[in-house]
Structure 1
Amino acid sequence: GVLVAGGYAVAPVVRGDASAQRPAAAAPASREPGPLWSGGAVDPHSNEFWAQSNITLGTNAPLTALTVELRVAQTGSVTSTGAWRSLPEDDFAFTVGERAGFLVYRWTLKEGRTVPAGEWVFAGQYNHERGGRDAGGDRYSATATAASGRLTVRGGFTPGG
C-alpha cells in the first residue's frame, strides 16, 4: 500500500532588508498516522544573494530504499552552489541539474544501504538574483520503502511576500 503523509513548509517573507529573511515558525507535521514524515524550510542563514532549502525527513522504521527530490523554481539566476545531507555521503547517489524550469536536486539511496529510524536533513544550496526570492514555486518529495511497504511524502514552501 501507499501512505501519503502531509508535510509542513515555511519560507522567509522576502522584503528589502535582511531582517525580513527569516522563516516563520511552524508546527511539525503529525507523526501519529504513519512511519514517514517531512517538513521543508528555507534556512534562516539564507541571504539576499544565496539560499539553502532544507528538507527534514523522519522515519520510525528503517528504510531500504529512499529517493529525495528538491525542485527549486527558476526565479532568476538560480544556480546550484552545493548540497548536503545528514546521512553518510557514500550511502547516496546525488545529481543536480536544470529540468523544465527547475533546479532539481536528487538523492538516491544506493542498493544494499539502509536509512535507520530517525530524523534526517537534505539540503540544496543555490545563488539567486539579489533581494531574496519567492520560494512559493519550490517543491520537495520523498519516496521510500520500509517493511510496511512503499511510503511517500511531499510538500512545498510558503510564498514570500
Structure 2
Amino acid sequence: MNEEPVNEHISRQLREAAEAHQPDRARMLARVQRGMAGPATRHRTRSGLRSWPRAALAGLATAGILATGSLAMAELAHFPLPSEPTVAPAAPSSPAVPPAPQPSTPSPAGTRGPAAAPATTTPTSPHPSPSASARAQNGPLWSAGSISPHSTVYWNENDLILRTGQPLTALTVELRIVQTGGVRDTGNWRTLSPDDFTVTVQESGGTLVYRWVLKPGRTVPAGQHEFAGQYNHATGVRVTAGDSYRVEAQSAGGTASVGGGFAPAG
C-alpha cells in the first residue's frame, strides 16, 4: 500500500476541518468583550483554534478592531472636549469724579488768620512836608509850597496848597519861578473851577510868573485848594531856592495875605 506524502495529508485534513467547522459567534463576541474590559489573560490555546481558516481569523481581528473603536468612542462621549474659557466683558470705567470740597475749619474763638495786605494807592499829587519857610498862616488862610516829586532833570512842577477857614470873595495867587536857565512854561492847573479865575503866565525881570485872579462876583468856598505851575528847564537838578509864592484874599473877616517858598522834592 502506497503512503501519501505528509504535506498532502496535512493539507487534506485542514480542508476537511475547515469545511466541517461552524464558528460560534456568541462565544467569539463574549471573548472580545472580556478582553476589552480587563487585562489580557493568557489562556492555553485550544487545539481547535489552530484548525481555523485564515479568513475566520481575519474576521475575528476585524471584529476586535471595530469593538475597540466603538468602546473608545463611547468613552469619549462621557468626557467631552474642554470648551474655550469664557472671558467676562470688562465693566465700563466710570468717569473720574473730583473729590467734594472740604468745609474749612473755623478758627478758635478769639483768633484770626493772617489778613490780606491792604491795597496801597499813590496820591495823585503827593507833597513833601513843607519846611517852616514854605508855610505861612494869616487869619483864615494857611499855605504850603512844595516841588512835585514827579519833577525830572528836564521838567518841574511847583505846587501850592491853600486852606481857608472862611469863604473868600476876592483872591489873587502868584507863583514866581526864577529864570535859572531854559525855564519855559508848559502849563498850569488848579482844583477850583477855571471859569472862576482869570489866568495869566508871563516872564518879567528874569522871573516866570503864574497868576490866578478870582473874577468879580465869584466866591472861593472854605476848604483846601491847590494851584500848580509847570515848566521846562535846563538839563540837571534845578535849584528852586529863589522861587516863591504870594496869596492875597478878602473874606467877611477882612483882608489876609500869606507867602513863602517851595520845599524841595523829597
Query: Normalising by structure 2, what TM-score?
Result: 0.49
Give the corresponding residue for 1:57: 162
- Contact kept in structure 1, 2:136 and 2:259, CA below 8 Å: no
Q: Tell me by how many angstroms 1:26 deviates.
A: 3.6
- Contact kept in structure 2, 1:137 and 1:159, CA below 8 Å: no
1:40 to 145, 149, 158: 145
User: CA separation of 1:128/1:27 partners in 2, compared to 1, >3 Å: closer, same or farther?
Assistant: closer
Q: Tell me by how many angstroms 1:42 deviates.
A: 0.4
Matched, 1:96 2:96: no
Structure 2: which amino acid aligns with 1:154?
G
Deviations 1:94-152 (A, max 9, x none): 00010011000000000000000001000000000111200000010000000011110
Give the corresponding residue for 1:86: 191
Structure richer in helix, relative to its length:
2
CA distance in 1, matches of 2:128, 2:166: 30
* Aligned length in residues: 138
Structure 1: which amino acid aligns with 2:253?
S
Give the corresponding residue for 1:116: 221
CA distance in 1, matches of 2:238, 2:154: 9
Q: For structure 2, list consecutive stretches of 5 or more residues without a partner in the other structure.
A: 1-125
Give the corresponding residue for 2:19: none
Q: Tell me by how many angstroms 1:158 deviates.
A: 4.6
User: CA separation of 1:125/1:136 partners in 2, compared to 1, >3 Å: closer, same or farther?
Assistant: same
Q: Tell me by how many angstroms 1:84 deviates.
A: 0.4
- Contact kept in structure 2, 1:85 and 1:121, CA below 8 Å: yes
Q: Once the two structures are aligned, what percentage of the paired residues are identical? A: 52
Moved over 6 A (4+): none
Give the corresponding residue for 2:129: 25
CA distance in 1, matches of 2:191, 2:127: 21
User: CA separation of 1:82/1:30 partners in 2, compared to 1, >3 Å: closer, same or farther?
Assistant: closer
- Contact kept in structure 2, 1:77 and 1:128, CA below 8 Å: yes
Structure 2: which amino acid aligns with 1:88?
S
CA distance in 2, matches of 1:24, 1:115: 25
Query: Normalising by structure 1, what TM-score?
Result: 0.79
Matched, 1:155 2:230: no
Matched, 1:75 2:180: yes
Could you say what secondary structure the match of 1:137 adopts?
coil
Q: Tell me by how many angstroms 1:27 deviates.
A: 6.5
CA distance in 1, matches of 2:129, 2:216: 36
Q: Tell me by how many angstroms 1:157 deviates.
A: 2.5
Could you say what secondary structure the match of 1:41 adopts?
strand
* Greater relative CO (CA pairs within 8 A, separation 6+): 1
Give the corresponding residue for 2:240: 135
CA distance in 2, matches of 1:39, 1:88: 21
Could you say what secondary structure the match of 1:64 adopts?
strand
